[in-house]
Amino acid sequence: MGPMFRYILGSSVKYLASLPALRHHHMLQNRMSTSPPPVAAVCQVTASPDKEANFSACKQLLEEARQQGACMVFLPEGFDYIGSSREETLSLSETLRGDMISRYAQLARKLEVWLSLGGFHERGHDWESDRRIYNSHIIINNKGDIMSVYRKSHLFDVELPEKGVSLKESAFTIPGASLVPPVQTPIGKVGLGVCYDLRFPELSLALQRHGADILTYPSAFTVATGAAHWEVG
């Protein structure tokens, strides 16, 4: 049996204990141990180009999740910002050593909570010459250390004229060169993906073979493409 943990869901951060499957897990856990299972919080934000406003909203969610007992908090793809144009998206990007990740590392350390930052606009290693970025999923531990960085492998290029959707992520994003091993966290071994990666089962199978207990695909789909990928239970 895999690891037992509870979920909190934000933006209003609510327990999901009413779900039948989770109730069953809770009953099993209660029979197996008197200690409560660790709590994971999954938060949702509506990001904008305003990085400061986005950080403020995420900070509030992290603080609320920690108050409710979460030991690990998951933020979505584009938690840092969603640009209104390619130019804005590129201009707002930062490196892993920039102010944004530094502030999240400080917050993780202050709150003593692990963070999954699920889609950070990371400036590429050849930024000065090619002006392209990575879409990076970052795990930070409760000491504020970066434990892992996965750069999205499968970039999202789609044309849906009938729905008014035209996206070409590959025009300004560098595909990641490799998978990264699952990360041991307080809620189990977490396998890292991002968004469109979920369409490629080889990634999931590889992570599972390397011991992943949990597979993650933080996403910021459009309405049209999201409906084609997700079924909310």
Any domain includes 92: yes
Give the position of tokens 């050849």: 126
* Residue 69 falls inside a structural domain: yes
CATH number of the domain at 204, please.
3.60.110.10
**Catalytic residue from among 71, 122, 152, 189:** 152
Structural domain count of the chain? 1
- Residue 195 is a catalytic residue: yes
Does residue 204 lie in a domain region?
A: yes
**Residue-wise pLDDT tens for the chain (233 aa)?**
445 445 555 544 433 333 334 444 445 555 555 678 899 999 999 999 999 999 999 999 999 999 999 999 999 999 999 999 999 999 999 999 999 999 999 999 999 999 999 899 999 999 999 899 999 999 999 999 999 999 988 776 566 566 566 566 767 788 898 899 999 999 999 999 998 788 888 999 999 999 999 999 998 765 555 555 556 65
Active-site entry in 43, 58, 71, 195: 195
Is there a domain that residue 207 lies in?
A: yes
- Residue of 43, 58, 77, 122 marked catalytic: 77
Does residue 1 belong to any structural domain of this protein? no
For the chain, what's the residue count?
Answer: 233
Catalytic, 152? Answer yes
- Domain of residue 139: give its range: 6-229
- In which residue are the tokens 């930024």 written? 127
Is-catalytic flag, 71?
A: no
